[in-house]
Structure 1
Amino acid sequence: MTVDYEFVYTFSEELLNLDNSLRWIGISNKYGVLINVEQREGLKPFMSEEENEEYAAAAISRYRTRIKFQTKIGKLNYAVGRYENVTRITIPISSDYFILLTIDKEKNYDDIIMKKIIPFIDKNRNRFHSDNL
């Protein structure tokens, strides 16, 4: 699985600029390894790089437990964890790649995800296949 880091970097930067409430974006592979991370300029992160790596692995593991129910309840659009300080979201791009992101806690995450992020992913989804990266 070869990664086109230039594409992933550009994709991450453009995604981060879709809404000013987006704090942090990570692109993870299917093993939970972060292949790129971007954060809002001037942001003081809540978690360290190592903690974000651990979070990514756990988020992908949780996703894997959910897919067994897809035949009954439909494909997962995104999963949310709403914390006191931030909202964390996992969005599958393909079976091989995932977006992990954080949004400021006071924002309506569903509108941001469904009206901005998902359409942006859909425009670029074909680039996220193992043979394209």
Structure 2
Amino acid sequence: MTDTRVVLYDPHGLIEAELPLDRAPHEALVTAVLSWKNPDLAPRDYEQIALQLTGHARAVAAAVRRHAATLPKSDGRGALAEIVLREANGRLSAPLEGTARCAQNRARLVQALYTRLDRLTEPTPAAQ
């Protein structure tokens, strides 16, 4: 039996752009994780939750990046998005740990990315 793999080459993120974010269940997970007081889960459970949040954070970051790229250079929202994306890249590069703290940090990151995405997608107030 031969193992075969297909490598996806999508340098412009077109496939990812077509997929909608599954926001509601991930926001519910973020809310649950951030409400933990003294959780008592196995390390592998924390790792799985953090892994789920990490994957979603990457998807939301890609959406933030796409929306920011469409803004004119003079729009300050793009600059703020770049700051959030740089911080997200740094936080996502940290290794996962089997701890509640790690899962909560990933939940905060998803929350921050959604906040930035919402600000990028809301209509701009008309110039007065």
Structure with the bigger percentage of strand: 1
- In terms of Rg, which structure is larger? 2
TM-score by length of 2: 0.27
TM-score by length of 1: 0.26
Structure with the bigger percentage of helix: 2
Q: Which has the higher contact order (CA 8 A, sep 6+)?
A: 2
